[in-house]
Amino acid sequence: MTELPQSESRLRLRPVPCDYCGAEEADPILSGRDRVCGLKGEFHVVRCARCGLVRTNPQPVPEDLPKAYPPSYDVHVASVTVPDPPAGRLRWGLVNYRDYPLGRKAPAVARLAMWPWAGLRLRGRDFIDYLPYRGEGRLLDFGCGTGRYVARMAAAGWHAEGIDPIPAAVAVGREAGLTIHEGTLPGAALPEGHYDVITMWHVLEHVPAPLATLRAARDLLRPDGRLVVVCPLIDSLAASWFGASWFGMRELPRHLTHFSQKTLRRHLEAAGLAVDRAVPIRRPTFMRHSLLHRAQDTGKAWYRWLARPRTLSRGLSHLARLLGRTDEVLFEARQA
């Protein structure tokens, strides 16, 4: 067991086997540092020699994992208020194209005519988390932090709940009047077959046993329910260019598993889920911040100069989408 010095405590690390196939043999890929919370030391990322799943290894022991999330970790301290319901063009689009219970649908001819004005808006990355309304609208956001997404979905007509293991984050959400459960998956006492949608927004890469987490989420879905997963993808164009400087690698050692499109789909299928759709998400921010990280790591100012024109980052993100190698992909899956 390795010990990592910190400013206030010591984070103990241990080698872990592959979450998918159980193999211990792995090939080193890179070493990186914590750019978000400043935990001291270098953390190593390896690829399973048997199945190709990429993981951080060694990882914090389960008892010390909370130490990797200091009290100032932004997701756990962010203020939250329930916003006003969606209005205007967004509301019209949600009602008519995603079945939200926010008003009456327009006639079919009007929906067809208004598609360029309201329908296309919903396909942008800023609104991709407004998922199609399903069933009775029972939504669970796994790893919700203080519950900002829960609050937005509640305002949009969902019966939205959240779950998070951090007591302080749960308390913030509850003070705002949200339904937030304290705990994680597996292990939380939640009703099986209850939820129409379960979301995991940049969370699955944080859990020690993602396959067990996905199986537990599957059991909570109604027969026609959907699980939605988004996480950084190690096979993205930017990841291949920037390595340890890639923006998606900034949260070592909190990011424990580094999925590719292939391995994430494989995990979902191994958990008894079938992928219905995979939606690529352009993230110019990943390109821009990766350039800035490379400037820090190499001391070469021209990387910083390249990051200044946002049009370059946007153009590179379009290229990544054309090549099928975006930094994120939204996977929507159902019970197999």
In the chain, where the domains are located: 2-64, 133-335
In the sheet that 26-32 helps form, which strands lie side by side, from edge to edge?
A: 26-32, 43-48, 54-56, 257-258
83: which 2 tokens?
Answer: 């916003």
Write the CB contacts of 162 (distance below 8 Å, at least 6 apart in sequence).
140, 141, 142, 144, 145, 147, 149, 150, 173, 178, 179, 180, 181
Fold (CATH) for 133-335 = Rossmann fold (3.40.50)
- What band does 145 get if pLDDT is binned at 50, 70 and 90? very high
- Point out the least confidently predicted range of 116-120, 173-177, 233-237, 269-273: 116-120
Statement: residue 329 has pLDDT above 80:
yes
- Domain covering 2-64: architecture: Single Sheet (2.20)
Residue bearing the bigger pLDDT, 132 or 124: 132
pLDDT single digits (tens) 86-120: 999 999 999 999 999 999 999 999 999 998 888 88
Statement: residue 4 has pLDDT above 80:
no
Q: Distance between CA atoms of 98 and 117, rounded to whole angstroms?
A: 15
Write the CB contacts of 131 (distance below 8 Å, at least 6 apart in sequence).
98, 197, 199, 226, 228, 332
- Average pLDDT value for residue range 9-19: 89
Q: Distance between CA atoms of 25 and 84, rounded to whole angstroms?
A: 52
> Which pTM value belongs to this model?
0.94
Instruction: Answer whether 259's CB lies under 8 Å from 267's CB.
Output: yes
Tell me the backbone φ, ψ of residue 5, rounded to 5 degrees. Answer: -70, 140
Statement: residue 175 has pLDDT above 80:
yes
253: which 2 tokens?
Answer: 């050692």
The pLDDT, as a whole number, for residue 237 is 97
The pLDDT, as a whole number, for residue 71 is 83
The pLDDT, as a whole number, for residue 3 is 40
pLDDT single digits (tens) 34-81: 999 989 889 999 999 999 999 999 999 999 988 899 888 888 878 888
pLDDT single digits (tens) 228-250: 999 999 999 999 999 999 999 99
The pLDDT, as a whole number, for residue 77 is 79
Mean pLDDT of the chain: 93
The pLDDT, as a whole number, for residue 9 is 52
Strand partners, 228: 199, 332
The pLDDT, as a whole number, for residue 108 is 94
Q: How many residues does the chain have?
A: 336
Q: Which amino acid does the sequence have at 166?
A: I
- Average pLDDT value for residue range 163-179: 95
Question: pLDDT above 70 covers what percent of the chain?
Answer: 97
pLDDT single digits (tens) 307-321: 999 999 999 999 999
Statement: residue 160 has pLDDT above 60:
yes
Any idea what DSSP says for residue 102?
S
pLDDT single digits (tens) 119-131: 888 887 788 999 9
Q: Distance between CA atoms of 227 and 216, rounded to whole angstroms?
A: 11
In 51-177, which ranges are E strands?
A: 54-56, 59-60, 138-142, 159-164
